[in-house]
Amino acid sequence: MIKKNKPLKSKKDLIYEKAALLFRAKGYKAASMRDLAELVDLKVSSLYSHIGSKEELLQKICFDNAYLFTNGIDRIEKTETTAVDKIKAIIDLHVDIAVSNPSSVTVFNNEWRHLSNESDDSNLMKFLDLRKDYENRLKKIIVSGRVSGALKNIDPDIALYTILTSVRWIHYWYKPNRKVGPEKLKSQIATLLLNGIVIN
């Protein structure tokens, strides 16, 4: 059987990947273009022939991840399933994104505050609008579950931020060699959120 080789990454893709690793390790503010140039084996001047600025790197990492979440909730909203099933699917979405590229998700979660903010139409404001839209759509699913009687009469905001907080640690903790794989993570987080840990 012939084993197919994986396609080689472009230099630009490699730069974005290494930038995520660098920003995760040092933080966006402390990381320099010289640091990044060394990681990708380029001179700083050559690095700028591939990307425009450090801000461009942060922008791409943050927005690429934001669109993974918004595209995911697009698909989930369109499914003919219950609110509970949709919440489980959203947990699955967060686990899948976190374990597939933990460095990128770390930057997305922690470094977005450094996006440019010179105007009302700035990258920061666009990012915050995307995040707020995602939260509102998840809250709408929670409210629909309350209305149908599938979920308890808990404040939707408390439920919303409890769900989101419960999946924001995965990229720090998860390693491919852990005994707990992605599928077990999904099922146990869903069990904890939807059923709690007390034996009735």
Mean of pLDDT values over 80-86: 96
The predicted structure's pLDDT at residue 1: 45
Q: Is residue 75's pLDDT more than 80?
A: yes
pTM of the model as a whole: 0.89
Q: Is residue 12's pLDDT more than 50?
A: yes
Q: Is residue 197's pLDDT more than 80?
A: no
Say what percent of the chain tops pLDDT 70: 95
Q: Is residue 4's pLDDT more than 60?
A: no
Domains and CATH numbers, the chain: 55-195 (1.10.357.10)
- 86-128 tens-digit pLDDT: 999 999 999 999 999 899 999 999 999 999 988 777 999 999 9
- 17-33 tens-digit pLDDT: 999 999 999 999 999 99
Who's near 28: CB < 8 A, 6+ residues apart? Answer: 54, 58, 107, 111, 114
Give the Cα separation of 87 and 192 in Å (integer). Answer: 13
Q: Is residue 164's pLDDT more than 90?
A: yes
> Got the DSSP string for 9-78?
PPHHHHHHHHHHHHHHHH-TTT--HHHHHHHTT--HHHHTTT-S-HHHHHHHHHHHHHHHHHHHHHHHHH
Mean of pLDDT values over 150-159: 94
The predicted structure's pLDDT at residue 7: 55
Give the Cα separation of 159 and 58 in Å (integer). Answer: 30
Mean of pLDDT values over 53-70: 95
Average pLDDT, the chain: 92
Closest residue by Cα to residue 82 from 144, 159, 154: 144
